Structures are given as C-alpha cells and as structure tokens.
Amino acid sequence: MKKILAFSGSNSSTSINQQLINYTAKLVSNGTVEVEDIRNYPLPIFSLDLEKEGFPSNLEAFKNKIQAADAFIISSPEHNGSTPAVFKNLIDWLSRIEKKVFADKPVLLMSTSPGGRGGSSNLQLLEKQLPYQGANIVSSFSLGGFHDKMKDGVLDEEEQQKLLQAIQLFEEKL
C-alpha cells in the first residue's frame, strides 16, 4: 500500500486547513495516510547565514517523512492573497537540501477559508510554484465558507462529492 503524507501549510492551533487534512485523510481508501502537523517542526526563518551553520534537526526529521512518502495531501491557507510565511519557509528550507522536494510524486493540493473563495488565490499560486519543487499536482480542491459547509465535523453533501472526486483523481495516480 502507498504511504501518503498529509499536512497543512498552517501553524495555527485552530487551523481549518489542518481540520480539512484530518477529514480528508479518513476518506482515502487507496493508501495509508500519515497526518502531520508542521507546528511540530518549528524552523527559523531561512537565511544563507543560518544555512552555513547547518540544517536544523526539525528540518531533517520532516525531510525524512517527505522522502519516505509515496504521495502527498497538502492543504494551505491563504494569507493576504498569498502563501503563509510558515509554509513558504518550510519549502525554502527543504529545497536547499533537495531542489525537487516532492520528487515528482502525486500531490492532492487543497485550500479552505471562512470566505467564499476558499483560498483560491493562494491555491493558484501553489499550483504554479510547487511543481518547481517536484510536486506532481494531480488534483486540487478548494472549500469556501468552511464554517458554513463543515458542520459538526461533517462536510455538506455537495462539497463532499467534490472532495471525493478530487480524492479519486489523486488515488488513480498512486
């Protein structure tokens, strides 16, 4: 069975993107999903000066998880129309070890927000940027109005069907 690493690009303890990751992980039937929280891997802001001192141990630990995975499910929030600093920083550090961070493995890329657009501006940015780091984005999903469409831990039927379609496309590439 394929090993799937799932994580959010958020460092919020109440992240709705992490909630979406947790929910999605339970729907995957073709693989074993390991859910991670990047808050467990704090990193300093990337700089060449820090890199000269060596790679942080947290980075090495997360890199090992990335390398062990056969595929990825990533959900990133949108901060001011762009990628959150914590997620960008993680990618910056990882790409210094291995340019093709995701090694051309399949990625289901997602985003959610309380607003109606579901983080779609950042999702579009990541769809363009992450392939430079070796992400083979095979499917994506955007959920706008998270608090209206996710009630008591259950996604409304229309969005559930969209998510299941995105998961199916993803699983076909495993």
CA 125 to chain centroid, in Å, comes to: 13
DSSP letter, residue 99: S
Can you give the pLDDT at residue 8?
A: 98
pLDDT in tens, the chain (174 residues): 999 999 999 999 999 999 999 999 999 999 999 999 999 999 999 999 999 999 999 999 999 999 999 999 999 999 999 999 999 999 999 999 999 999 999 999 999 999 999 999 999 999 999 999 999 999 999 999 999 999 999 999 999 999 999 999 999 999
The predicted structure's pLDDT at residue 72: 98
- Out of 1.10.510.10, 3.40.50.300, 3.40.50.360, 3.40.50.620, the CATH code matching 3-172 is 3.40.50.360
Helix, strand, or coil here: 112? strand
- The pLDDT, as a whole number, for residue 110 is 98
What integer pLDDT is reported at residue 129 of this predicted model? 97
What DSSP character marks residue 143? E
Residue 38 gets which letter from DSSP? G
Task: Please report the pLDDT score of residue 120 as a whole number.
Answer: 96
Provide the residue type at 153 as one letter: G
Q: What is the pLDDT of residue 136?
A: 98
Specify the long-range contacts of residues 45-53, CB closer than 8 Å, at least 24 apart: 45/85, 45/89, 46/89, 46/92, 46/93, 46/96, 51/96
Q: Where are the domains of the chain?
A: 3-172
